[in-house]
Amino acid sequence: MWIVEYLWLIPVLPLLAAGVIAVTRQPHRSMACLLAIGSMAAAFGLSVAAFLATLGHPAHAGAWRMVRTFPWCQVGEGFIEFGWVLDPLTAAMLVMVTFVGLLIFVYSKGYMAHDGNMTRFFGFLALFAAAMLGLVIANNLLLLFICWELVGFASYVLIGFWYHKPSAAAAAKKAFITTRVGDMGFLIGILWLYCETGTLVFYDEAGGGCLEATAVARLAGQSTLIGLTVAGAIALLIFCGAMGKSGQVPLHVWLPDAMEGPTPVSALIHAATMVAAGVFLVARVFPLMAALPPGAAGVSGALEVVTWVGALTAAFAACIAVAQTDIKRILAYSTVSQLGFMMLGLGTGGVVVGMFHLITHAFFKALLFMGAGSVIHGVHDEQDIRRMGGLRKAMPITFATYAAGMMALAGVPVFFSGFWSKDAILHAAHAFPSSQGPFFLGLFGAFLTAFYMTRQMAYVFFGTSRAGSSAAGAGHAADAHPAEPAASGPASAHESPALMTVPLAILAVFAVGLGFLGTPAWPWFQEYLGGRALEGGWHELLSGESLRIMAFSTVIVAAGIGLGWWLYGRRPVTRADDLDALERFHPRGFGLLRNKFLVDEFYEATFVRFNARLAWLSDLLDRWLWGGVVQLAGYAVVGLAWLSRFIDEYVVNLGFDAGCRGITSGAGATSRLQDGQVQGYLRVIGLGLTVLLLLLTWGCAS
C-alpha cells in the first residue's frame, strides 16, 4: 500500500516548508504563506488517502494497523527504531489536524495580513503542523516525545509571537514551564517503560511492541507501590504529560494566558490540535491505561484517576468561565472544560468516546475561536465582551457561524455534533462502575457550558453596541494587534473579509454534520475506531437507557440556555460598566470565579516564590562561593607572578651583575700584567728560570 510507505511525507512536507520559510525575507511573505498553505494542502491530500486506505477493512476483523520502522541509532546490542503506524486512530487524527490546520492557515493569511512578521508566523505555524503530524503518526514513544516537545516549543514561540509585549512573553514562558512540569512525569514514565519492556516501539511486526498484548500483560501482572500495577503506574506517569499538555486541573493555568497569542494560534493550537495531543496520547497508550491484573474486573486504577481528573477539570473550568469578560478567555476556559470532558470520556468509555468528542470539539472550538477572531477584527481589536454588543446585525455571517459553534459546544440536541459526542460521554459516565460522581460533575459542566456560552452570545451579539462607552475595567485594547491603533470611539463594526468568513462557514458545516457519524443509530465512528461491529439502528437510539440520558442532557442544556437567556438575554446590559447579573446576585462568589479560584496566586505564593528564593541562593553561592574560589586562584597566580619578578629582579639579576663584575675586575687585573714593558717580561722570565733551576737542583737530587 503506497500510502503507508509514504506516510512520513505528511509531517515532512510542512517541515520542509518551515525550513524554506525560515530563510525567506519579509518582501516574499505571500510566497511564504502560499508555501505553508500548499504544504498543508498536500498533507491533507495524503491524509485523506491514508484515511481511505484504512476504510477498506471490515470492522469485525479486529484492530487493523500497518507499521513501518527504521533503525535510528544503535544502543549496545540493539537499535532504537523510529517509525510510523497507520491505524484508524491515526487516520482520523491526521484528517482532522490537516483539515482544520489548512482552514486556519487560510484564515491566518487574512487575519495577519497587516502584521509585519507574517513570514515568521507562517514559518512557526508550519513547524507546529509538522511536529503535530509527526506526533500523530509516531510509532515510538520516544519519537512521540520528541514531537511533543517540538509542539510545545512551537506553542511557546507562537504564544509569544508579539514578544515585545511583556504579558505575551510571560504567558509563553508560563506555558512552556507548566507543560514541562507535566513532561517530567512523562519522561520518567518513558524511562520506566523502556526499562521494563526494553523497547519503546508501540507496535511491531513481530508482536514485540510495548503496547502489544504480551508486554502489557506482563506489566499488568507486576505490582508496585500503592497497590498499582506497573502498567498503571507507567500509565499515570504518562498521564502527567497529558495533564500538562491538555490543561487538566493542577496544570491548567497556562491555557488562559496563552490567549496572548494571535487568534489563529489560539484556534489551532489551543483548541483543536496541541491540547488534543494529551488526549491523543492517552488514547494511543490506552492498552497500558486499561490494563488490569489477570483475573481482576472493573476499571483500572489509572483510568479511575483519568476519569476523576477529567470530571473535576470539566466542572472547575466551567465555573471559572462563567465569570470571565475577555472573549477569548471564556473560550480558553471552555477548552479546558471540554478537555476534561474528553478525559472523562476516555476514562469511562474508552478510546472511541474520548476521540469522538476530540474530533467534534476540534471543529467547533476552532470555529468559535476563529469567529472570536473575526469579531475582534470587526470591532477593531476590542476583546472585552462588556464593550461589544449588537454585532448580530453588523456581522451576520460571523453571527450565524458562531451560533452554530456555540450550539454544538453547548450540546443542543440532534442537529449539532457536540450533542452526540457529549451524550456518548455522559452515557459512558453513567455506566461507570465505581461511582456516579463523574457523571454528575459532567452534567454540571454541561449545564454551565450552555449557560456561559449563552451569556457570551448575549453580551457579544445581542443588545446594543457598547463600543467606546465609558472606560470600564483595565485597558487592554492593544492585546490583539499592536500594529493597528487601539479602538477609538464608537467606530462601527464591520464584517470580516471572505478569506476569514469562508473557513468559518466550512467549519460550521462540519460542526453540524460530524455528529451524525457517531449517533447510536449509526455508530460508524465507533465501529471505525473501535474495530468491532456494533449494533446500530433506531431501536438502539430510542432504547430506554440511551433515550433517558439524551433526554436528561437535553433538559440540562435547555436549563443552561434558559437561565443564560433569562439573566443576560432578556435585558442585555446597556453600559460597559454595568454589573453582571450574577455579580449583583453574589459579588463575592462571582469575584472568586473571576479570579480563577486564585490558583495562579497560590502558585505564585508557593512554587514561584520558592523558585525565586532558590535562584537568589544560587546566585549568592555563585557570586561569593564559587566566585570567591576563582578570585582566590587569581590572587594566588598574581602572587606567584610577583614573587617570580622579585626573584628575577633582585636575585638573578644582581647575581648575574656581580658575576660579571668579578670577571671584569679579574680581567682588568690580568690585563695589567701585560703593560708593554719589555723589561718586566724579562724579569718574569728570569724569575721563572731561577725557579726551574732550583727545582732541577734540589728536586732531582732526591
Partner 1 sequence: MTTLQHYLLLSAMLFGIGLAGALVRRNAIIVLIGIELMLNAANLNFVAFWRFGPHPEAVTGLMFALFSIGIAAAEAAVGLALIIAVYRHYSSTHLDKLDSLKG
Residues that bind partner 1 (CB under 8 A): 671, 673-679, 682-683, 686
Q: Provide the grid cell at 2.
A: 503506497
Task: Decide whether 655 or 686 has the Cβ nearer to partner 1.
Answer: 686
CA distance 134 to 69: 14
Distance of CA 607 to the CA centre of its chain: 20
CA distances from 506 to 103, 378, 531, 536, 687 (A): 8, 20, 29, 29, 133
Q: What are phi and psi of 68, to 5 degrees?
A: -130, 135
Helix 396-410 with 498-513: angle, nearest 10 deg: 30
Q: Cβ 696 to partner 1, closest distance in Å?
A: 16
User: Are the beta carbons of 361 and 247 closer than 8 angstroms?
Assistant: no
Read out DSSP for 68-107?
EEEEEEEETTEEEEEEEEESHHHHHHHHHHHHHHHHHHHH
Task: Decide whether 1 or 692 has the Cβ nearer to partner 1.
Answer: 692
User: Are the beta carbons of 556 and 450 closer than 8 angstroms?
Assistant: yes
58 Cβ partners below 8 Å, 6+ apart? Answer: 533
Return left, alpha or beta for 64; rule: phi > 0 is left, psi -120 to 50 is alpha, else beta.
Answer: beta
Q: Cβ 639 to partner 1, closest distance in Å?
A: 51
CA distances from 95 to 140, 405, 522, 561 (A): 21, 20, 21, 32
Dihedral sign of CA atoms 554, 555, 558, 559 in order: negative
Q: Cβ 688 to partner 1, closest distance in Å?
A: 13
CA distances from 432 to 210, 318, 344, 429 (A): 28, 22, 10, 5
Q: Cβ 665 to partner 1, closest distance in Å?
A: 15
Q: Please, is 583 exposed, middle or buried when counting C-beta atoms within 10 Å of its C-beta (0-12, 13-18, 19+)?
A: middle
Q: What are phi and psi of 491, to 5 degrees?
A: -70, 145
Task: Decide whether 677 or 702 has the Cβ nearer to partner 1.
Answer: 677
User: Are the beta carbons of 314 and 291 closer than 8 angstroms?
Assistant: no
Residue with cell 485597558: 475
CA distance 596 to 319: 9
Task: Decide whether 56 or 676 has the Cβ nearer to partner 1.
Answer: 676
Task: Decide whether 25 or 672 has the Cβ nearer to partner 1.
Answer: 672
Task: Decide whether 673 or 701 has the Cβ nearer to partner 1.
Answer: 673
Distance of CA 400 to the CA centre of its chain: 31
Residues recorded for the chain: 702
Q: Provide the grid cell at 94.
A: 491526521
Identify the CA nearest to 340 among candidates 360, 313, 367. 313
Task: Decide whether 674 or 702 has the Cβ nearer to partner 1.
Answer: 674
User: Are the beta carbons of 225 and 192 closer than 8 angstroms?
Assistant: no
Q: One-letter amino acid identity for 249?
A: V
Task: Decide whether 62 or 676 has the Cβ nearer to partner 1.
Answer: 676
Task: Decide whether 671 or 697 has the Cβ nearer to partner 1.
Answer: 671
Identify the CA nearest to 366 among candidates 106, 99, 100. 100
Find the helix or strand (DSSP H, E) in which 38 lies: helix 29-55
Find the helix or strand (DSSP H, E) in which 66 lies: strand 66-75
110 Cβ partners below 8 Å, 6+ apart? Answer: 496, 497, 499, 500
CA distance 695 to 83: 110
Task: Decide whether 551 or 694 has the Cβ nearer to partner 1.
Answer: 694
Q: Cβ 676 to partner 1, closest distance in Å?
A: 3
User: Are the beta carbons of 57 and 66 closer than 8 angstroms?
Assistant: no
Q: Cβ 677 to partner 1, closest distance in Å?
A: 6
CA distance 702 to 683: 29
Q: Cβ 666 to partner 1, closest distance in Å?
A: 14
The residues facing 35 across adjacent strands are none
Q: Cβ 637 to partner 1, closest distance in Å?
A: 52
